[in-house]
Structure 1
């Protein structure tokens, strides 16, 4: 079976073409059934491909004369999208020239372009940004939304839960992922009205879907491994994600300082090096790279801007797996199972009206 090719924005990321091409080449060795559409400056891409004949043989180059920078606002990116590497990569998904797109560029711009080009799926009001986070359990944790929507009502949260569960079943292999809403406590009376209403709706939908809704969880439990999907609004999700990343860096820096403080500490480091290397591997964001914009009529994956070639390869690997496992079709099937009678048209009385699109710069 011929699988759709993956469009790679070769100009995105802090390191640009070299790392994006190296990452795509590494991913190609792991997923040799896929072909690639490499979008960006043709001369620079051809030069980078000289060291990767395997990728060169399975790729086509689409020249893009312009690049979206990290400083560009989403509105600016939208106006220039037709000539930029990011915009052309996402448009290739819209036209069917590619089955999915990967970029390490500006997240806000990426969301704006993808939403305008691909639109949201029937039954989904807003796309959400989902990523895998490491835990002490056997499986990684799927968390969403991580910054696409700062304000969400109960309907949005229920839709995020359905999409997150479908994503989790693909990436973790679990038949019925454990789903919880992020809250300030686990008691049913805790949290906002939107959270309590979403919990009630998810309890009703639990029997119709391949997921197990377990109520609420708190931020200090995210890494314990006793939940598979955590759902929240993009404001809280982005703060929680950055707090986790900061804590991981703090632990790493603290260990470095401790092990270099004396001769005895340095000897202790040599003895404990296998354990510290395992910790480093577990906390390295490159090993969990690849956030997905769920809810669009097409697959778009965001690689971290500072990702190494290994990180880019992992983002491409996530993309490949989502194509192989038909993520979009799975989400559509789950939405059909639940039906509009469970996902109500609005949240609790008095809840704020939905915004038609994310505000300027809403994604952090």
Structure 2
């Protein structure tokens, strides 16, 4: 793909519709030089929508898809219609080498199922993981995985997630030696399940792998910026993610209620508005948009269903960065380095 990655965009997916998806693509085009797009969806609607974004015409090709995966569709239903839906054709474009990555704001379960079936897992990876960037008080966002693709994981899965998460942090956050931790119920060596303790033992002894394993981290420290990659099973990760998102909304709503409670509070809001705007920007999921299915033979990015144009552009930016930095190759190389030290355990099926 070189310096001009081509991104396949499911133009019909997401809660906000085609107009927001195209606005996000247009914004990404302005933010990143040389980017090209394969816009997948209803050809007539896309052509009409491009009238508002003339800067996209020369950089885009349209692939007609007569069908759309609905938010209510089960993964099995979506898989049967993969060859006719905008989501399925975007993924297939990656498989065929017509695009370096696919981006969709559609049904998460359907996207995960179709991506895994079409692209298959990489050699040395037993299960793909869903990774996302979360805001912290540190100098950079934090990578967290798995966020729901695998409800139960053994030590081998957690080790592979750690290697993939570190490679992702090096690629997207541009960290040479990401700090990696396992989510646990305590920081002591004796805490946690056997799977977590076995994974920790393996990661502590890892050599020639570009990561700094720091041990365990508890849920109340996730936002402190003390680590760059947090690894967990999908059950724990999804609960932690939803709790963090709910807490952010709770804080925001509480501040709104407090500032509206009296005239003095309203005056206080006007005085503190720059600070509250900074808080709102930091917690806005659109500014951290773009979850990734790591471990597949191809790159697929999941954008929030309700993302605005800024969120869509950020998801596309994540996809472009992974293509330009050849994330799949980096994961393969890191797994090989780990295997050389740890033996066949990492690649054992």
Q: The residue matched to 2:14 in structure 1 has which SS?
A: coil
Q: The residue matched to 1:223 in structure 2 has which SS?
A: helix
Alignment correspondent of 1:297: 297
Shift of 1:2: 5.4
Residues 155 and 343 of structure 1 are in contact (CA less than 8 Å); yes or no, is this contact kept in structure 2? no
Alignment correspondent of 2:46: 45
* Residue 4 in structure 1 maps to residue 5 in structure 2: yes
Alignment correspondent of 1:350: none
Shift of 1:121: 0.6
Q: TM-score, normalised by structure 1?
A: 0.93
Shift of 1:273: 0.3
Q: Deviations over 1:292-330 (max 9, x none)?
A: 110011110000000001000000011111111111110
Change (3 A) 1:102 1:343: farther
Question: How many equivalent pairs are there?
Answer: 348
Q: The residue matched to 2:139 in structure 1 has which SS?
A: coil
Runs (5+) with no aligned partner, structure 2: none
Residues 141 and 227 of structure 1 are in contact (CA less than 8 Å); yes or no, is this contact kept in structure 2? yes
Deviates more, 1:159-168 or 1:41-50: 41-50
Alignment correspondent of 1:170: 171
Counting only pairs closer than 5 Å after superposition, residues 98-113 of structure 1 correspond to structure 2 as 98-113=99-114
Q: Deviations over 1:270-292 (max 9, x none)?
A: 00000000000000000000001
Q: The residue matched to 1:82 in structure 2 has which SS?
A: coil
Residues 7 and 36 of structure 1 are in contact (CA less than 8 Å); yes or no, is this contact kept in structure 2? yes
Shift of 1:174: 1.5
Change (3 A) 1:17 1:155: same
Change (3 A) 1:129 1:210: same
Q: Deviations over 1:63-122 (max 9, x none)?
A: 000111111111111111110000000000000111110000011110110111111111
Counting only pairs closer than 5 Å after superposition, residues 205-284 of structure 1 correspond to structure 2 as 205=206, 207-284=207-284
Deviates more, 1:264-273 or 1:165-174: 165-174
Change (3 A) 1:312 1:346: closer
Alignment correspondent of 1:339: 339
The two structures, once aligned, show a CA RMSD in angstroms of 1.5
Shift of 1:344: 5.2
How far apart in 1 are the matches of 2:198 and 2:346?
Answer: 10
Residues 160 and 346 of structure 2 are in contact (CA less than 8 Å); yes or no, is this contact kept in structure 1? no
Change (3 A) 1:346 1:132: closer
Residues 160 and 231 of structure 1 are in contact (CA less than 8 Å); yes or no, is this contact kept in structure 2? yes
Change (3 A) 1:23 1:158: same
Residues 69 and 106 of structure 1 are in contact (CA less than 8 Å); yes or no, is this contact kept in structure 2? yes
Residues 154 and 346 of structure 1 are in contact (CA less than 8 Å); yes or no, is this contact kept in structure 2? no
Counting only pairs closer than 5 Å after superposition, residues 33-72 of structure 1 correspond to structure 2 as 33-72=34-73
How far apart in 1 are the matches of 2:29 and 2:3?
Answer: 15
Alignment correspondent of 1:118: 119
Shift of 1:173: 1.7
Q: The residue matched to 1:293 in structure 2 has which SS?
A: strand
Residues 145 and 232 of structure 2 are in contact (CA less than 8 Å); yes or no, is this contact kept in structure 1? yes
Q: The residue matched to 1:7 in structure 2 has which SS?
A: strand
Q: TM-score, normalised by structure 2?
A: 0.97
How far apart in 1 are the matches of 2:146 and 2:343?
Answer: 18
Q: Deviations over 1:30-83 (max 9, x none)?
A: 112111000001111111110101112210000000111111111111111110
Residues 146 and 233 of structure 1 are in contact (CA less than 8 Å); yes or no, is this contact kept in structure 2? yes
Runs (5+) with no aligned partner, structure 1: 348-352, 355-364
